[in-house]
Structure 1
Amino acid sequence: MGRSKRLIGIALTAALAVVAVSAAPAAAAPAARIMVVGDSISQGAEGDFTWRYRIASHLVAAADFVGPWTGTHVLPADHTDQSSSHHGAYRAGIGFDGANLAQWGWQMHQAKAVIGGNVATHDPDYLLVELGFNDLGWGVSDAAGLLADFEHFVAAARAAKPGIRIAVANVPHRTPLDVNPGLPALITQYNALLAARVPELSTATSPIVLADVDGPFDEYTDAYDGLHPNVRGEHVIAKAFADRIAGGFGLGGAYGPVPASLPADLTPAAPATITAVPVGDKVRVSWAHSFGATGYEFWKRDTTTQGTWAKGVFDIGADSWTDDWLPAGHGFEYRVRPVRGTATVGGYSPVAAAVARPMPNVPNVAATGNPGRPWTITISWGAVAEADDYHVYSAPGCDLNVPAPSAFTEQQWGLGGKTSWTQELVFEQCRNYKVVASRYGGLGSLTAATTVRAYPVRS
C-alpha cells in the first residue's frame, strides 16, 4: 500500500470511530427519587390500588419511590393489637415500587418529628405530602397549628436535604359527621391558609407547590366511606399530584382525564369460618380474615331469652372480638359481616355458639330467727367472687321434703355485694329459702341452690 492509501485508511478509521462514538445512546437520566408522606388516604387499605400505584404507573421509569414501608393497611387478627400494619396486599394482579412514608391515622404533628431522619436515610428528591385530616378531625391542631406544623415539617426536611422539592396537598373535605359539625369550616380555613403560605415558603433552591386535591375530589362519588378514595378517587388524587409536579417541577407529563371505565370497587367476601370460645366470664369470637375488609359488623343474639339478632354499635377493626358483660349461663349465637367503609358490605359468616360461664352455687347459706326481732328471718350467705347481685327465693312448708324449685318465689334482689337480708312479717310456722348469685342479669341455678329452713320467733 502506498503512503497516500495509508493516510486515507487512517483517516477513514478515525472517521468511523467518531461516528461510532456519536451513535452511542445517551445515558438515561437517573429516576427521580420520590417519597410519598401521608396518612390512610395515601397508605391505602388492603385491596386498594392506591393513588400511589396510579401515579407510579403514570411516571413509569421516571420515578423511584422510596421510604421505609411498602404495604397497605390490613386488619390485625386480634382487636387488642393497636400497632400499625404495613403488610397488607394491593388489588390482586398488580405490583409496583410501593415504598412510602404513609401510615393509617398519621398526623402532620407526628410526621414533622421524623421527616428529617427519613429524608436523610432515603434521600428523596421530591416529597409528595398528603397530611392534615387527622390533625383537624381528631382535634390535635386547629388550622393555624396545623400550618405551623407544616412549616416545621418543611424546615426539618430542608435541614436534611437543602434542595428537596415538595408538593403538598390541601385537605379534602369528607361527608358530614354528626360528632364533628365544625370540621368542614376548619378544613376550609386551613386550606386557605396553606394556599397563601406555600408561595412564601417556596425558594429557588427548595421549591414548594400546592397540589389541589380538595377541589376535584368529590367525597360522595370518589370515596368508599366519605373520605378514603375508591377506584375513581385514587385517579383523582394521582392526577392532582401528577399535573402539579409536571407543571411546577417538569417531572413527568400531564395525567390526562380520569378514566371513564374503571374496575369495580372491592366487595369483601363473607368469612368462611367463625368460632366462639368461652374465656372466663367472656366469649372470644374469631373468624377467618376477609380480604379487603376495613371492619366487620358484629351480630349476636341471646338464645336463652330467644332474642333476635342485634348488630353491635361499632364495627370491629380486627378478625376477632372478645364479647363481655354477658349474663351468666346464657347461650349466645354470633355471626359477622365484613364491610369496606360504608359503600360495600359482604355476606354473613356462618354462625358460632357459646354459653357464658354459669354462676357457681352460693356457699354457706343460713337462715335464722332473731328473738330481738320477732316475726323476721335473717338469711346470710358467703360471697361469690363474680357476683354483682344476689336473689333470695322462699317457699312455705315444714314437711320433711324440701319444696320443689317451682314452689319458690323471688323475695328480694338488688342486694349488690351484700351477703345478708332480713325478711319481715313472716307469719308461717317455718319457711324455706334459696339464694342464687347473678352476673349481668344471668342467674345461678335455682334447682342446684342450697335450701335452708328457718322458724321465725313469735312475740
Structure 2
Amino acid sequence: MLRLLFVGDSMTIGSAGEHTWRYRMWQHLRASYDGPFRIVGPRETLHDKAADAPLSYEYAPDVDPAFPRHHLAGWGEGWRHMAPLIHATVREHRADLLLVSLGLIDLGFYTNAEQTAAQVRRFVDEARAANPRIAMAMLPVIPNTRADTDPSFAAEVALFNELLAKAVADLDTDRSPLLLASLPPSYALHHDTYDGTHPSASGEHKLAAAFADALYQAWDLGAPYDEAG
C-alpha cells in the first residue's frame, strides 16, 4: 500500500472553511490510482485565523467525510521547521511518498536561498534515515505577492528554486527517487490566491495538478490531473 505524506506550510495546511489542495489531490488519486493508498501524518487540523493556531476541524461544507485529513503542515513553518521532524514522522507513520511544498516561509523570515537549500538536503537525509527507499516530490516556491512587488525577494526565490532543482538532481537515486514538480504555468495571483499567497479554489486545483502531473509523467503514478473531474 502506498503511504502518502503531505508536508508543507500555510498553503498546505489551509485554514478553516477551505478544501485545501490536499483534498483535491486525494480526490484525484482516488479516481486515478489503481492501487491501495493511505494518507498518513501526525496532524489533522486546519489553521484557525481567529485563534492564530491550528485548532480547526471545519473544512469546506462539501468536503467528503471520507477524506483522511492527516498531514505534516503548519502555518508559518518551512524547511527549517520540518527537517527536524521528518525522521520521526516518516518512521512512526511509515510514509513512503512525500509531497513537499515549502520554502516561502524560510526565505521570507528565516534563511537565505543557500541556507534554505541546505535545509532541503538535511530534510532528505533525515527522511532517508527513517526509510531508505522513500520517494519525494517537491514543488518550487510558487508565485506570491511579495516576489511580485519586491525585486530582491524575487531574486532570492529564483535562486532558491535553482538550488532546489540542483539538490533534487544531485540527491536523486534509484533506491530513493526525488522528483521536482513544475511550477503551475498559468498560476495567477489575482485568480489563484485569495490574498496574494494562499490558494483559492482554482489555486488548490493547480497545486494538486502540479504534483499529480509530475507523478504521472515521471513515475507513471495515477493519471494527468483532470480539474473538471
TM over 0.5: yes
One of 58, 69, 75 as aligned partner of 1:104: 75
Distance 1:216 1:179, change over 3 A: closer
One of 212, 215, 224 as aligned partner of 1:254: 224
Q: Following superposition of structure 1 onto structure 2, how do residues 39-438 of structure 1 map, counting pairs within 5 Å?
A: 39-60=9-30, 62-77=36-51, 84-95=53-64, 96-138=67-109, 140-176=110-146, 181-213=151-183, 215-256=185-226, 258-259=227-228
Deviation at 1:88, TM superposition (A): 3.3
Distance 1:215 1:147, change over 3 A: farther
Task: Give structure 1 stretches of 5+ with no counterpart.
Answer: 1-29, 261-459
In 2, the alpha carbon distance for the partners of 1:174 and 1:38 equals 15
Deviation at 1:180, TM superposition (A): 5.0
Distance 1:157 1:216, change over 3 A: farther
Residues 45 and 57 of structure 2 are in contact (CA less than 8 Å); yes or no, is this contact kept in structure 1?
yes
What is the SS of the residue equivalent to 2:100?
strand
Q: Show CA shifts across 1:216-257 (max 9, x none).
A: 42222210001100000000000000111122223211113x
Larger Rg: 1
Deviation at 1:100, TM superposition (A): 0.4
Residues 114 and 160 of structure 2 are in contact (CA less than 8 Å); yes or no, is this contact kept in structure 1?
yes
Q: Identify the range of structure 1 (245-254 vs 225-234) with the bigger mean alpha-carbon deviation.
A: 245-254
In 2, the alpha carbon distance for the partners of 1:158 and 1:172 equals 26
Deviation at 1:67, TM superposition (A): 0.2
Q: Identity of paired residues, percent?
A: 36
In 2, the alpha carbon distance for the partners of 1:57 and 1:229 equals 17
Could you say which structure has the higher helix fraction?
Answer: 2
Q: Identify the range of structure 1 (169-178 vs 231-240) with the bigger mean alpha-carbon deviation.
A: 169-178
Deviation at 1:87, TM superposition (A): 2.7
Measured on the aligned residues, the alpha-carbon RMSD in Å equals: 2.0
In 2, the alpha carbon distance for the partners of 1:100 and 1:235 equals 18
Amino acid at match of 2:21: W
Deviation at 1:202, TM superposition (A): 0.3
In 2, the alpha carbon distance for the partners of 1:146 and 1:198 equals 14
Amino acid at match of 1:90: Y
Q: Which has the higher contact order (CA 8 A, sep 6+)?
A: 2
Amino acid at match of 1:255: Y
In 2, the alpha carbon distance for the partners of 1:231 and 1:62 equals 27
In 1, the alpha carbon distance for the partners of 2:134 and 2:118 equals 19
Residues 58 and 255 of structure 1 are in contact (CA less than 8 Å); yes or no, is this contact kept in structure 2?
yes
What is the SS of the residue equivalent to 2:160?
helix
In 1, the alpha carbon distance for the partners of 2:87 and 2:50 equals 30
Distance 1:86 1:99, change over 3 A: farther
Deviation at 1:181, TM superposition (A): 4.7
Distance 1:86 1:249, change over 3 A: farther
Distance 1:209 1:164, change over 3 A: same
User: Structure 1 segments of 4 or more deviating over 4 A?
Assistant: 177-181
Scaled by the length of structure 1, the TM-score of the pair is 0.46
Distance 1:169 1:86, change over 3 A: farther
What is the SS of the residue equivalent to 2:189?
coil
Aligned to 1:276: none
